[in-house]
């Protein structure tokens, strides 16, 4: 995969799946406490709130820590490796 595919595709899906898990856990927790509310809420509204108000600030804070420590933001070029015993696959 190219770097663009990894950053755009895989990073988004990893981020969105964490938001989904967070919101399912939150809804399950509210389902065990029915005296607080008579509704469980909307999955998509809670997922958006989990992404925007929980995970995004954590990611921004983490990226600021990485930048303050001198991590390089750009990916390096591909590395070519010489094999000890090269083989051809037929």
Q: What is the pLDDT along the chain (90 residues), one digit of tens a residue?
A: 777 887 788 888 888 888 777 777 766 666 566 565 566 667 777 778 778 888 889 888 988 998 899 887 776 777 788 888 877 766
Ranges of each domain in the chain: 3-68
d(CA 6, CA 65): 22
Give the model's pLDDT for residue 87: 76
* Burial bucket for residue 18 (CB in 10 Å: 0-12, 13-18, 19+): middle
Q: What is the pTM of this model?
A: 0.59
Q: Write the CB contacts of 89 (distance below 8 Å, at least 6 apart in sequence).
A: none
């Amino acid at each position: 995969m190219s770097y663009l595919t990894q950053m755009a595709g895989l990073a988004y899906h990893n981020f969105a799946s964490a938001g989904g898990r967070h919101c399912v856990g939150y809804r399950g927790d509210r389902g065990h406490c029915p005296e607080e509310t008579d509704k469980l809420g909307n999955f998509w509204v809670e997922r958006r709130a989990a992404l925007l108000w929980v995970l995004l600030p954590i990611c921004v804070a983490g990226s600021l820590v990485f930048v303050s420590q001198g991590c390089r933001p750009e990916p390096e070029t591909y590395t070519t490796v010489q094999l000890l015993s090269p083989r051809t696959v037929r």
